[in-house]
Structure 1
Amino acid sequence: MYYFNSSIKTTINIILISFVLAYTLNPIRSIFEAKFKLSKRAASILVILMIIGMCITCIISIMPTLFTEISNVSNIFDNIESFLEGIYEKFNLAHIPGANTLYNEILEKGNLILANFSENAINNLIKISSNLITFAIVPIMMYYFLCDGDRIYNKVLLLLPTEKRTIVKKILNDIDKILTRYIASQLLLCGFIGVLTFILLIIFRVKFPLWISILNAIFNIIPYFGPIFGAVPAVVVALLDSPIKALWIVLGMFIIQQIEGNILCPKITGDSTDIHPFVIIILLLIGDKLGGFVGMILVVPIAVMLKVLYDDINYYLF
């Protein structure tokens, strides 16, 4: 029913997105509540207003420039074409069998990518704009999850038999501890990646350094594939200036990911998931098929929850 009825799918998506955002922002609300001596409702409103303000600032500051850059995206392929033509002439590749054919095929593919990119970018922007009204409900749902989450939790527990409630509470508390640790470690890791990316982009004077850094930090939530996805916007924008700058950005992003994978990740994340990398890759592929980008973000936390659930059921019941 979820996949065949668009209304039900939209409703469930809004509830899930609101719950996930509220759960993620719950520690920040608790900090505001304790530090500023606010009520739970006032702290919740403050957190939501802060998020809305950040989104509005992002839209106002980046959207006009984004439309301009989309219209000028052909400059990227002009720069690439000039770069390839320079290499082709400098190394006299015309004498190599098949080089001329390969060169022409690359240019042909580039023009095709340009046409598809422009069409898809405009269609996606229109689609996002048409869904803004629907997702305006998300802040309202977040408010109720942040304010009345404990009440909803207790009401749901009342649906269970009395003898099962204690065990369920223990299992849910264990899930909450592991999940909170995972989310906190991921947010801290993404923050480090965002800062390092921002420094790299500032050094090479790439446009939109702040927003590309934020985007790369968000993509970094996805294990293994996230760093690749996150590097693409930086490389594409660098190509607006020159292919050489893009190559430097590729090298810089590679170094950042080595720092993240070999230094930061073991220190910050540790074994918070305790899931084999092969299993995580399979889960990411499943998440991509079921929910796209959002599915890839949510599939690992869901797997962590299921693992804790399995371990606790074995411990408490068997």
Structure 2
Amino acid sequence: MLVYKKYKKIINPILIIIVALIILALYIKIKTLNSIVNIIFIGFIFAYTLKPFRDGLSEKFKLNKRVASISIIIVIVFSFILLSYIIIPSILRESYNFGSILDNIDIYIKNIAKKMNLNDLSFFQGIYEQISEEANMFFAKISDNFLENLFLCFESLVSLAIIPIVTYYFLVDGDLIYNKLLLILPTEKRIIAKKVLNNLDKVLSRYIISQLLLSLIIGILTFIVLLILDVKFALILGIFNGILNIVPYFGPIIGGVPAIFIALMDSPNKALYTIIAVFLIQQIEGNILSPKITGDSTNMHPIIIIILLLVGEKLGGLIGMVIAVPIGVIVKVIYEDINDYLF
């Protein structure tokens, strides 16, 4: 006991690291624990994202937390069901025409090559055959795995049904959980912990709300433009582009590619107009909307954000890119607050 008291400051951090490593190992190895932790984590993220909207609803209509929370969750769940009802049948209908669409693209490329006298070049023929082979293998793999992935989605419905419940309890009892967790810390450490967490809450809330608002505007703009251009899947592509807009810099570029590809299936002219439209939307987003809405919510240099996005992509793909900037913001705020506290 005397040894522990003497080396308490060294032993405690080591014990925390060991416990954290054990929990991480269990999370990776045990599938059941992995699923439970994922559900709780997703529920927490949704609750944290929805918290400002719940507060706004409570203030505007004088509702308590429980009523405001359940109202928001019901609206989101019904919206998700409605979108699924609209989107899934249209995807299934168009999937039957996918082979003929690919054949049309193949004919279009061959006609261009013929006009430009590229057919006689062995170099072009080699590249064309390789690309065609890779494309056919890719789409064949998607077709083969489609039903399998569909069944996996149905198997995950139980988990999806639990997430709104977990989100509700985080929304309703989040403050209680927060206060209980603070009791774990020594009394003298709670002040700095509260300060750090309050600053994190302010910065992250501002960032999340601004990104969601920006994504909503871009999604609606994309949907309207694609509807005017008569591009198929305008609603799906608008939602897709809006969601990907959450990823700074790279999101709008990635989100515009499927729209251009689907427009190309109809005609080259439509694809050209779609490229112009997507480019204009990106310019509006980058030069007008983003500075006005997002402002300087992260207070990080663009180079730092790009590095975070690249690291996030390497570690976690698209999901890694989505959470890279918020994690960077968290680390930055914690560092600045602890630095102020210590020095």
- TM bucket, shorter chain: over 0.9
For residues 260-271 of structure 1, what are the structure 2 equivalents within 5 Å?
A: 260-271=285-296
Q: CA deviation at 1:291?
A: 3.6
Distance 1:166 1:102, change over 3 A: closer
Quick check: 1:22–1:145 contact (8 Å CA) kept in 2? yes
Higher mean C-alpha deviation, range 192-201 or range 49-58: 192-201
> Aligned equivalents of 2:118 and 2:224: distance in 1?
38
Which of these two proteins has the greater Rg computed from alpha carbons? 2
Q: In the alignment, which residue of structure 1 is the partner of 2:17?
A: none
> Aligned equivalents of 2:270 and 2:153: distance in 1?
31
For residues 276-315 of structure 1, what are the structure 2 equivalents within 5 Å?
A: 276-315=301-340
Amino acid at match of 1:303: G
Quick check: 1:23–1:146 contact (8 Å CA) kept in 2? yes
Q: Aligned to 2:59, which of 12, 34, 41?
A: 34
Q: In the alignment, which residue of structure 1 is the partner of 2:173?
A: 148
Q: CA RMSD in A?
A: 2.0
Q: CA deviation at 1:220?
A: 0.7
Q: Aligned to 2:195, which of 141, 148, 170?
A: 170
Distance 1:303 1:188, change over 3 A: same
Q: Aligned to 2:159, which of 119, 125, 134?
A: 134
Amino acid at match of 1:282: I
Quick check: 2:105–2:265 contact (8 Å CA) kept in 1? no
Higher mean C-alpha deviation, range 29-38 or range 169-178: 29-38
- Show structure 1 runs of 5+ residues with no match: none
SS of the residue aligned with 1:259?
helix
For residues 111-130 of structure 1, what are the structure 2 equivalents within 5 Å?
A: 111-130=136-155
Quick check: 1:40–1:147 contact (8 Å CA) kept in 2? yes
Q: CA deviation at 1:178?
A: 0.7
> Aligned equivalents of 2:323 and 2:122: distance in 1?
49
For residues 19-58 of structure 1, what are the structure 2 equivalents within 5 Å?
A: 19-58=44-83
Q: In the alignment, which residue of structure 1 is the partner of 2:35?
A: 10
Higher mean C-alpha deviation, range 14-23 or range 86-95: 86-95
The Cα offsets for residues 20-69 of structure 1, whole Å up to 9 and x where unpaired, read as 11111111111221222222101110000011001100111111121222
> Aligned equivalents of 1:289 and 1:105: distance in 2?
26
Q: In the alignment, which residue of structure 2 is the partner of 1:72?
A: 97
- The answer as to 2:223 corresponding to 1:186 is no
Quick check: 2:219–2:242 contact (8 Å CA) kept in 1? yes
Quick check: 1:167–1:316 contact (8 Å CA) kept in 2? yes
Q: In the alignment, which residue of structure 1 is the partner of 2:3?
A: none
Higher mean C-alpha deviation, range 100-109 or range 255-264: 100-109
- Show structure 2 runs of 5+ residues with no match: 1-24
> Aligned equivalents of 1:72 and 1:120: distance in 2?
18
- The answer as to 2:113 corresponding to 1:88 is yes
The Cα offsets for residues 87-128 of structure 1, whole Å up to 9 and x where unpaired, read as 122233334453333443343333223213323444433322
Amino acid at match of 1:93: L
Q: In the alignment, which residue of structure 2 is the partner of 1:200?
A: 225
SS of the residue aligned with 2:29?
coil
Higher mean C-alpha deviation, range 183-192 or range 38-47: 183-192
TM-score in terms of structure 2 length? 0.86
Q: In the alignment, which residue of structure 2 is the partner of 1:217?
A: 242
Quick check: 2:312–2:323 contact (8 Å CA) kept in 1? yes
SS of the residue aligned with 1:273?
coil
> Aligned equivalents of 2:335 and 2:195: distance in 1?
13
Q: CA deviation at 1:255?
A: 2.1
Of structures 1 and 2, the one scoring higher in RCO (CA 8 A, sep 6+) is 1
> Aligned equivalents of 2:332 and 2:125: distance in 1?
55
Distance 1:171 1:202, change over 3 A: same
Q: In the alignment, which residue of structure 1 is the partner of 2:21?
A: none
Higher mean C-alpha deviation, range 170-179 or range 109-118: 109-118
Q: In the alignment, which residue of structure 1 is the partner of 2:266?
A: 241
> Aligned equivalents of 1:137 and 1:244: distance in 2?
47
Q: CA deviation at 1:316?
A: 1.9
Identity within the alignment, %: 52
Amino acid at match of 1:7: T
Quick check: 1:24–1:183 contact (8 Å CA) kept in 2? yes
Higher mean C-alpha deviation, range 49-58 or range 211-220: 211-220
TM-score in terms of structure 1 length? 0.92
SS of the residue aligned with 2:83?
helix
Quick check: 1:76–1:239 contact (8 Å CA) kept in 2? no
Amino acid at match of 2:156: N
